[in-house]
Structure 1
Amino acid sequence: MRVRTPAGAADVTGAVRHGFQDITYLIAFMAPTVDAETFVTDLRPEDALRIDAPRDPKTYTTATLWAHLGLPEPETEQKVRTASVCPPCIKDERRPAVQSITAFVQEIGHGRSRARC
């Protein structure tokens, strides 16, 4: 993905999943909310971070599998904002081979957030 976590990031974890037709990269970290938001802004999302209603964790399925990192699916959590990025669409020369990035920022309190993408 060619991303850099903020200098003050903690609990940085990641994984790579090689699928039949694609490769999925996951990264998660905790940081001050302003740093997590700056991280997402640097990805050049198509729209600003937005809040979506959480999905039911009992029925929601996804191919991302954040559980592999010991985390719940961000779409099922409260206080999660999300943004999408299409590096080829915006001609992001830093990530020419990355087709899409979905970023999540979840406020956890005391001015800190967990970022995932």
Structure 2
Amino acid sequence: MRTRTRTTWGAGVVAALAVGLLAAGCSVPDAGDGQATEGRDWHWDPEAGPDDAAAFMEVAVPKGATGVKGAVQVNPQEDQYILTFVTSEKAAEELAASLHSEEPLTARKNEIKPWSVLLERLGLAKPYALKGARWAGVCPPCVSNPRRKKVQWIEIYVRGLKGDRARVYLSAF
């Protein structure tokens, strides 16, 4: 009986921590009028670009990548960093693996994601709505990734293009 109690208690603690992290760390912007939900202000950092996003995420844009775009949305609780580029399929796969997600890149059904306003800023389609896009996400502190200790969450979408090319979409806070 003692083992079951500890297991149940441990699962409860993990669930409470996950809910707490999500509640404390996520503010979702609305359709783009400069106001986040519940009336909180947010704005785009006019000085920030792909280098700032890559530096925060601790990722290197592969040599030869094209269509590199990035932005930073400044929020009251946490800033959102987005980065996208086109590279080889192999480089995209290696980048996804370097995030240390417990699951490999997998196809996901169309979902509503808080990235809509972020990607509109870069003039790109939502990756989760594109056929063939694969996703992986990870909480770097949860997988003991000291390289990304200031990142609470990072996710990647990879969508294959013609030839051996793929568009990479990254978002982190």
What's the TM-score once normalised by structure 2's chain length?
0.62
Q: Which amino acid aligns with 2:107?
A: I
Number of the residue aligned with 2:141: 88
User: Alignment RMSD, CA only?
Assistant: 1.4
How far did residue 99 of structure 1 move?
0.3
Number of the residue aligned with 2:114: 62
Aligned structure 1 segments of 4 or more residues deviating by more than 2 angstroms = 60-65
Match of 1:14 among 62, 70, 74: 70
Counterpart-to-counterpart distance in 2, 1:115 and 1:18: 22
Counterpart-to-counterpart distance in 1, 2:90 and 2:167: 11
Number of the residue aligned with 1:38: 94
What percentage of residue pairs aligned between the two structures are identical? Answer: 33
Number of the residue aligned with 1:72: 125
Relative contact order higher in (CA < 8 Å, ≥ 6 apart): 1
Which runs of 5 or more structure 1 residues have no equivalent in the other structure?
Answer: none
**Which has the larger Rg?**
2
Higher strand share: 1
Higher helix share: 2
Q: Which amino acid aligns with 2:110?
A: P
Which runs of 5 or more structure 2 residues have no equivalent in the other structure?
Answer: 1-56
- Does structure 2 conserve the Cα–Cα contact (< 8 Å) formed by 1:17 and 1:25? yes
What's the TM-score once normalised by structure 1's chain length?
0.89
Say if 2:161 is the partner of 1:108. yes
Counterpart-to-counterpart distance in 2, 1:98 and 1:82: 18
How far did residue 12 of structure 1 move?
1.0
Number of the residue aligned with 2:41: none
- Does structure 2 conserve the Cα–Cα contact (< 8 Å) formed by 1:5 and 1:39? no
